[in-house]
Structure 1
Amino acid sequence: MNRPPADLFEAIDVERLRSGHGVKWGSLPQGTIGAWVADMDFGVPPAVSESILQVTRRADFGYPCWPGADPVIEAFEERMITRHGWRPEPGRARVFSDLLQILQVMVEYATEPGDGVAIHVPAYPPFLASIARAGRRIVPLPMTRGETGWRFQTDGLAGHLREQGCRMLVVVNPQNPTGRVFTPAELGALATAAEDLDLVVLADEIHADLVFAPHRHVPFATIGTAAARTVTATSATKAFNIAGLRCAVAHIGPDRLRDALDQAPLDFFGTPSTLSRVATVAAWRRSDDWLAALMSTLERNRRLVEEWAATLPWEPRYHSPQGTYLSWLDFTASPIGTAAPAERLERLARVKLSEGAEFAQHTTVDTAAFARLNFATSTANLTEILDRVLTVPS
């Protein structure tokens, strides 16, 4: 396969984005730039497009049939081995529609109403909403900012989780929205606490393919004996820009969870479509050259945001993400203000970011002065976004 040209991601078609069904641009008025939802403004890998077109040309939209092994599971296992150095145990992976479904299912099967579910905060807002909606208590593990970046407290972790009545630990790595890629030592501290308290761990590793050198993604299931208590959830959707197709994989380490799911009604969890499955396989097996070109673009944009932050007339205390294509911006000292900065930016600068307060909902952690910026766009569009943010009147 030939490597895509270096300028593949240098231009975006805004009219295509606005006229489609994507919420990131389609929900916004003309003149407002979407930089919020975690979709990329680029297309999809050629192999993904071709796989979908082949299904369409065959009018292959009947009930799905997969003789032999599930190709999505096979592609998942191959990718974990070759790219991330983890050999999943055969027979433990299941296909779901997305990671939010996986979280909801595991919360229902691994915990009881009133139990504590620990998660790093700020956190992906639908995860927080899902845990709260299920009647479980969110136990925040606050991400705090130091001189060298975002971190969390590991001393006394097991005691804290015990006091809070935790039965599950959710580990989002790379972390959304701070972009931290957790080190083996940090993951080891979490694994030790989980073992001490016999917690089920849900490891959301959907951004694993979007890590910037020299950082490296370490699957949680590779830490000591953690695999036996870990549900590893991932998908091709973020790295290959196919979120709307809805296909994800969960590798279920705990025997009791696997047995419980095997006994559930056959159609209880639904079935991802043929299109989502063939696209996922094409992404994981035939699109790494496209991904490499993408990462070059994201690295350039990441540095552009970092350079922009360094020249701001206020002190942003900004740390570049180590993974993902998301920047976590602090507007505390800015003229934009600490109350709903994303709303103010949308109104005055016509740029839509994600509101920081949403990333700490149902907790006492204060993220109201923050906003999340999606920089997976062309350099020209990103420059326009940053210029607009800088020129918002006080």
Structure 2
Amino acid sequence: MTFGAARRPFDLCDPDTLLQRDGEKWAAAGEGMLASWVADMDFPVPPVIREAVLRRLDGDLGYPAWFDESDGGPLGEVFAERMRRRFGCTLEAGYVRLFTDINQALLAVLEVATERGDGVLLHTPACPPFVSVIEHMGREAVTIPVDEGPHGWEFDSARMERAIARTGRRCRVLFLVNPHNPTGRVLRRDELQALATIALRHDLLVVSDEVHADLVYSPHRHVPFASLGDEIAARTVTLTSGSKAFNLAGVRCAVAHIGPRSVRKALDDRRGLLFGRVSILAVEALKAAWTAGDPWLDTVRAVLDCNRRRLTERLPDGIRTWRPEGTFLAWLDCTRLDLGTDPMNFFRDEARVLLFSGLAFGAPGEGFVRLNFATYPNVLEETLNRMHVALNKR
């Protein structure tokens, strides 16, 4: 099925082809199941990335010369230029440090900047690995529920103030996910400014996960948290990678732009073998994505934009959602359907569609599921058809 006047790349795919994949998304699905759960796209590797990795394979695979990242390493300038070009945000290339993924970067920052028992503020529903990192390190996840308002999901700064008041001086960090996973909200500048004011008032370190920043749909715009002013930039760690926009989760390469000098120094003092190192091939892949991958990304974004519109138009009766402003994830409210606390089980067993359990995102996810629409339009259509049929039989 094609949406639009002309057929584009990534419009059609046989679901049986996807079922042959051995990555987590499809390997966990099982025979005959359609996988719409974990946050991987189904699209092929961008050609510029494949070509860059093949060139490196024909070259030097010995120890890299950039183990000292004090000047930003091999991706500092690439990251800084991309932030200027796409978001009009000027950041210091020399403040960049590399990690294998967002979770490892979060862990490392919390290790050097906080102590056991310190509170980390985060909005819920929250992506399960983030809560796991915080709790496994002996820090307290201080949750701020996202409210549903008349125009969508709302990030209430007053709720954040109340959460800080409950924990007192133990609250040290705001962990912000923007664009937000799983709701798909893209925070406006005024919302971010309200959070920034609170961070300044309470002397909070801000760790801003902006991994979905390249996947924002018009008229919405991504505003980097560190772009709100010099004072905010000096207390913000910006995390990103190519794992979402370029489907590189398995490549294992993420960037942390570390504004606070004390955090940067503490991490540099602990580099070497403690936090591991990203590989030469991972660096080449992400560099190619950020320097030459935008034409591919533009095509994929057009497909995703059509998919998100189709999704909200074709959802079965009784399922509610707000059209995502960013990401390729839809947060589906199934509470009116009487499918129990975890509707994922119903859709897995009766529709043969594997969605992400809402309960995995915390108590606010009861009665919800998360659907990944980063797939071929015909696969999305079959996913929605199966959900319709299963609910009609019921």
Question: Which range moved further: 13-22 or 382-391?
Answer: 13-22
C-alpha contact 1:17 1:26 (8 A) present in aligned 2 = no
The alignment status of 1:389 with 2:387, answered yes or no, reads yes
SS in 2 for 1:237: coil
Determine if the alignment matches structure 1 residue 42 to structure 2 residue 47.
Answer: no
Whole-Å separation in 1 of the counterparts to 2:7 and 2:142: 44
TM-score for both structures, normalised by structure 1: 0.93
Query: Matched residues in 1 for 2:15 and 2:327: separation?
Result: 22
> Which of 344, 347, 368 is residue 346 of structure 2 equivalent to?
344
Corresponding residue number in structure 2 for 1:245: 251
What's the CA shift for 1:69?
6.9
Q: How does 1:224-235 map to 2 (within 5 A)?
A: 224=229, 225-235=231-241
**What is the aligned-residue identity percentage?**
45
SS where residue 239 of structure 1 aligns? coil
1:258-316 CA deviation, whole Å, 9 max, x = no partner?
1111211422211111111101010000011111111110000000011013xx332x3
Q: Is the 8 A contact 1:158 1:194 kept in 2?
A: no
Who is 2:134 aligned against? Answer: 131
Q: 1:338 to 1:281 in 2, by over 3 A?
A: same
1:109 to 86, 107, 112: 112
Give 1:76's match in structure 2, choosing from 68, 79, 85.
Answer: 79
- Structure 1 residues 265, 232: closer, same or farther in 2, change over 3 A? closer
Task: Find the aligned partners of 2:93 and 2:357 in 1 and give their Cα distance.
Answer: 41
Counterpart-to-counterpart distance in 2, 1:92 and 1:157? 28
SS of residue matched to 2:183: coil
Write the deviation string for residues 113-155 of structure 1: whole angstroms up to 9, x where unpaired. Answer: 1111100100111001111111111111111111210012212
Alpha carbons of 1:375 and 1:265: their partners in 2 closer, same or farther (altered >3 Å)? closer
TM-score (norm 2): 0.93
User: 2:3 maps to what in 1?
Assistant: none
Report the counterpart of residue 171 of structure 2 in structure 1. 166
Partner of 1:306: 312
Unaligned runs of 5+ in 1: none
Q: Judge which range, 63-72 or 23-32, deviates more.
A: 63-72
Q: 2:74 and 2:244 mapped to 1: Cα distance? A: 19
Question: Closer, same or farther in 2 for the Cα pair 1:326/1:156, shift >3 Å?
Answer: closer
User: Using the alignment, how far apart are the partners of 1:372 and 1:97 within structure 2?
Assistant: 25
Alpha-carbon contact 1:338-1:370 (below 8 Å) kept: no
Shifted more, 41-50 versus 201-210: the winner is 41-50
Aligned equivalents of 1:265, 1:308: Cα separation in 2: 50
Give the superposition deviation at 1:107. 1.5
Counterpart pick for 2:92 among 89, 93, 96: 89
- Contact kept in structure 1, 2:87 and 2:224, CA below 8 Å: yes
Gaps of 5+ in 2: 1-5
Structure 2 distance, partners of 1:163, 1:69, is 38
Matching of residues 195-234 of structure 1 within 5 Å: 195-224=200-229, 225-234=231-240
Q: Where in structure 2 are the equivalents of 1:322-337 lying within 5 Å?
A: 322-335=325-338, 337=339
